[in-house]
Amino acid sequence: MSLQTIPAIYESGVFKPLQPIKLHNHQKIRLIVETEEDFSSFLTPEEILSLANKRAIKLRQNPREVVVKQHQELIKALQAEAVSKGVEIDDYPDGD
Protein backbone atom coordinates (compact mmCIF):
# COMPACT_ATOMS: atom_id res chain seq x y z
CA MET A 1 0.00 0.00 0.00
CA SER A 2 1.32 3.45 -0.89
CA LEU A 3 0.14 6.92 0.05
CA GLN A 4 -0.04 9.77 -2.46
CA THR A 5 -1.40 13.28 -2.19
CA ILE A 6 -3.03 14.18 -5.48
CA PRO A 7 -4.71 17.54 -6.07
CA ALA A 8 -8.08 17.12 -7.75
CA ILE A 9 -11.27 18.93 -8.62
CA TYR A 10 -14.71 17.54 -7.83
CA GLU A 11 -17.00 18.12 -10.78
CA SER A 12 -20.41 16.63 -11.57
CA GLY A 13 -19.97 13.81 -9.07
CA VAL A 14 -16.48 12.86 -10.28
CA PHE A 15 -13.04 13.54 -8.76
CA LYS A 16 -10.69 14.69 -11.53
CA PRO A 17 -6.92 14.60 -10.76
CA LEU A 18 -4.97 17.74 -11.64
CA GLN A 19 -1.80 15.74 -12.31
CA PRO A 20 -1.02 12.34 -13.86
CA ILE A 21 -1.36 9.38 -11.49
CA LYS A 22 0.00 5.84 -11.75
CA LEU A 23 -2.94 3.51 -11.14
CA HIS A 24 -4.27 0.52 -13.02
CA ASN A 25 -7.65 0.84 -14.70
CA HIS A 26 -10.44 -0.11 -12.23
CA GLN A 27 -7.95 -0.28 -9.34
CA LYS A 28 -9.71 0.26 -6.02
CA ILE A 29 -8.40 3.09 -3.86
CA ARG A 30 -9.34 4.75 -0.59
CA LEU A 31 -10.06 8.44 -1.01
CA ILE A 32 -9.68 10.95 1.83
CA VAL A 33 -11.02 14.39 0.94
CA GLU A 34 -9.36 17.52 2.32
CA THR A 35 -10.91 20.71 0.99
CA GLU A 36 -8.91 23.87 0.32
CA GLU A 37 -9.86 27.41 1.24
CA ASP A 38 -11.54 29.57 -1.37
CA PHE A 39 -8.92 32.30 -1.65
CA SER A 40 -11.23 34.50 -3.72
CA SER A 41 -12.99 35.49 -0.48
CA PHE A 42 -9.76 36.80 1.10
CA LEU A 43 -8.92 40.47 1.22
CA THR A 44 -6.81 42.04 -1.51
CA PRO A 45 -3.43 43.57 -0.55
CA GLU A 46 -4.94 47.02 -1.01
CA GLU A 47 -7.80 46.18 1.39
CA ILE A 48 -5.34 44.81 3.94
CA LEU A 49 -3.21 47.96 3.79
CA SER A 50 -6.29 50.17 4.07
CA LEU A 51 -7.49 48.30 7.16
CA ALA A 52 -3.98 48.35 8.65
CA ASN A 53 -3.76 52.10 8.05
CA LYS A 54 -7.11 52.68 9.77
CA ARG A 55 -6.04 50.48 12.71
CA ALA A 56 -2.64 52.21 12.88
CA ILE A 57 -4.29 55.65 13.04
CA LYS A 58 -6.58 54.39 15.80
CA LEU A 59 -3.59 52.96 17.70
CA ARG A 60 -1.38 55.92 16.73
CA GLN A 61 1.22 53.60 15.22
CA ASN A 62 3.03 53.30 11.92
CA PRO A 63 0.87 51.24 9.49
CA ARG A 64 3.93 49.19 8.47
CA GLU A 65 4.57 48.18 12.08
CA VAL A 66 0.95 47.02 12.41
CA VAL A 67 1.19 44.93 9.23
CA VAL A 68 4.56 43.43 10.24
CA LYS A 69 3.23 42.48 13.68
CA GLN A 70 0.12 40.87 12.19
CA HIS A 71 2.29 39.06 9.61
CA GLN A 72 4.53 37.67 12.37
CA GLU A 73 1.48 36.47 14.33
CA LEU A 74 0.11 34.77 11.21
CA ILE A 75 3.44 33.03 10.50
CA LYS A 76 3.57 31.74 14.10
CA ALA A 77 0.02 30.39 13.78
CA LEU A 78 0.88 28.70 10.45
CA GLN A 79 4.03 27.19 11.96
CA ALA A 80 2.04 25.81 14.90
CA GLU A 81 -0.51 24.30 12.50
CA ALA A 82 2.27 22.77 10.38
CA VAL A 83 3.88 21.22 13.46
CA SER A 84 0.52 19.83 14.61
CA LYS A 85 0.15 18.15 11.19
CA GLY A 86 3.70 16.78 11.21
CA VAL A 87 4.99 19.05 8.44
CA GLU A 88 8.74 19.77 8.35
CA ILE A 89 9.33 23.50 8.86
CA ASP A 90 13.14 23.82 8.78
CA ASP A 91 13.00 26.24 5.82
CA TYR A 92 9.73 27.87 6.88
CA PRO A 93 9.92 31.69 6.99
CA ASP A 94 10.12 33.12 10.49
CA GLY A 95 8.18 36.30 9.70
CA ASP A 96 11.11 38.68 10.17
Confidence of residue 94 (pLDDT cuts 50, 70, 90): low
Q: What are phi and psi of 55, to 5 degrees?
A: -65, -40
Give the relative orientation of helices 63-84 and 45-59 as an angle to the nearest 10 degrees: 120
Strand pairing report for 8-11 and 14-17 = antiparallel
Cβ atoms within 10 Å of 50's Cβ, excluding its own: 13
pLDDT at 15 over 80: yes
Q: How far apart are CA 35 and CA 8, in angstroms?
A: 10
pLDDT at 93 over 70: no
For 33-59, the pLDDT digits (tens) are 888 766 556 777 788 778 877 877 877
Global pTM reads 0.36
Residue 61's pLDDT is: 73
- At position 55, the amino acid (one-letter code) is R
